[in-house]
């Protein structure tokens, strides 16, 4: 049922030839070829949701799977067509609607978490109190009390920047990986979150990362224990090596990402003491988290942060690392 759903929902034109699940009584060979979205009568599920959870339709995710063109399209859409996305503004709302639609189209269950934020000053520009949102996408049948992984990227920008690198790049790679994972098996169920209101509204450590702190605050004790790793994709389209950041030193998620990068053949640079993104909301609450991205660039937090600053090759490197981190071993 998942294969059928995913095949029907996913509009990518990439070949599905590797969607060859091991034959099981539930999916059989029809699940592998699946030319038609209709289940055969003997596969007709009595209870669709139970069938979805039981089916094992897809081959394993690999580093080759994320399509960088998906990330590029997102950068052009968010930073080109929509533009600056201050966390409480109408453009942010348009961006959240677009990302929500993309993830829904891929077959995820998508909800929005309301995030209230205070007035303040964001990179020198006064910003009002208001409402932002996290866009949270979970795979069908997801149980937040079972072990899972979280891939996040902030969707908002400072008021003056169209935010191609900061952070349409991260959202773009998130969508590319979510697209690949929608038709592949990951080692654990994976939640994809576009966070609201990451950018600062004041000078202290409590004046930024509102969306991710809200996400963590809303987790109950069993859900917290179930988060086995979180990675924040933040400024992932500039440079030719991928910064792999840890809030402390020797972080297990950072180590796992470095190992994933080796498997994926992607050049990296380890970065300790990295607390300037949404992974820090997880780590400061005692949950495992790390960051990909942070290479300095000229257009940072300015009107010059336009799609041409983003490199397709770097987006592809980061997609490969995340996919290798999510892949079954």
The one-character DSSP state at 182 is T
User: Does residue 274 belong to the site contacting Zn ion (CB under 5 A)?
Assistant: no
**Considering the complex, what minimum distance in angstroms separates the CB of residue 300 from Zn ion?**
9
User: Does residue 134 belong to the site contacting Zn ion (CB under 5 A)?
Assistant: no
Concatenate the DSSP letters of all residues of 197-208 into one string: --S-SSSSTTSS
User: Does residue 305 belong to the site contacting Zn ion (CB under 5 A)?
Assistant: no
**Considering the complex, what minimum distance in angstroms separates the CB of residue 88 from Zn ion?**
17
User: Does residue 156 belong to the site contacting Zn ion (CB under 5 A)?
Assistant: no
Q: Which of 317, 263, 309, 310 is nearest to 292 (CA)?
A: 317
User: Does residue 167 belong to the site contacting Zn ion (CB under 5 A)?
Assistant: yes
Concatenate the DSSP letters of all residues of 208-273 into one string: S-HHHHHHHHT--HHHHHHEEEEEEE-S-SSSSSEEEEESSSS-HHHHHHHHHHHHHT--EEEEES
User: Does residue 86 belong to the site contacting Zn ion (CB under 5 A)?
Assistant: no
Q: Kindly calculate the radius of gyration of the chain based on its CA atoms and give it in whole angstroms.
A: 19
User: Does residue 278 belong to the site contacting Zn ion (CB under 5 A)?
Assistant: no
CB nearer Zn ion, residue 182 or residue 294: 294
Q: Which of 136, 92, 114, 152 is nearest to 278 (CA)?
A: 152
Q: Taking CB under 5 A as the rule, which mask of x and - marks residues 234-273 in contact with Zn ion?
A: x---------------------------------------
| 108-116, 124-132, 176-184, 233-241 -> range binding Zn ion (CB under 5 A) | 233-241
| 77-85, 232-240, 301-309, 311-319 -> range binding Zn ion (CB under 5 A) | 232-240
| 9-17, 166-174, 203-211, 213-221 -> range binding Zn ion (CB under 5 A) | 166-174
User: Does residue 169 belong to the site contacting Zn ion (CB under 5 A)?
Assistant: no
Taking the alpha carbons of 317, 319, 322, 328 in that order, is the dihedral positive or negative?
negative
User: Does residue 276 belong to the site contacting Zn ion (CB under 5 A)?
Assistant: no
Tell me the H-state helices in 10-89: 30-33, 48-54, 68-75
* Binding site residues, Zn ion, CB under 5 A: 166-167, 234
């Amino acid at each position: 049922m998942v294969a059928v759903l995913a095949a029907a929902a996913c509009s990518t034109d990439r070949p599905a030839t590797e969607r060859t699940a091991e034959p099981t009584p539930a999916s059989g060979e029809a699940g592998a070829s699946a030319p038609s979205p209709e289940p055969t009568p003997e596969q007709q599920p009595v209870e669709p949701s139970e069938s979805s959870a039981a089916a094992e339709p897809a081959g394993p995710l690999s580093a080759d799977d994320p399509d960088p063109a998906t990330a590029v399209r997102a950068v052009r859409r968010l930073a080109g067509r929509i533009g600056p996305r201050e966390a409480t503004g109408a453009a942010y709302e348009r961006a959240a609607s677009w990302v929500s639609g993309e993830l829904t189209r891929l077959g995820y269950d998508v909800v929005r978490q309301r995030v209230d934020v205070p007035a303040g000053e964001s990179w020198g520009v006064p910003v009002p109190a208001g409402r932002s949102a996290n866009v949270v996408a979970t795979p069908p049948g997801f149980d937040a009390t079972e072990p899972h992984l979280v891939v996040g990227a902030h969707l908002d920008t400072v008021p003056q920047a169209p935010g191609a690198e900061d952070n349409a790049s991260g959202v773009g790679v998130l969508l590319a990986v979510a697209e690949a994972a929608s038709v592949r098996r990951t080692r654990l169920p994976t939640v994809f979150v576009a966070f609201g209101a990451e950018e600062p509204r004041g000078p202290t450590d409590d004046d930024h990362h509102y969306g991710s702190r809200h996400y963590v605050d809303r987790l109950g004790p069993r859900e917290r224990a179930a988060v086995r790793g979180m990675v924040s994709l933040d400024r992932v389209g500039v440079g030719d090596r991928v910064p792999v950041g840890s809030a402390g030193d020797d972080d297990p998620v950072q180590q796992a990402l470095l190992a994933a990068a080796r498997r994926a053949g992607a050049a990296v640079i380890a970065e300790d003491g990295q607390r300037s993104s949404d992974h820090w909301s997880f780590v400061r609450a005692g949950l495992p988290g790390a960051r990909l991205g942070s290479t300095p660039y000229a257009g940072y937090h300015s009107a010059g942060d336009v799609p041409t600053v983003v490199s397709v090759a770097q987006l592809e490197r980061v997609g490969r690392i995340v996919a290798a981190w999510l892949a079954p071993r």
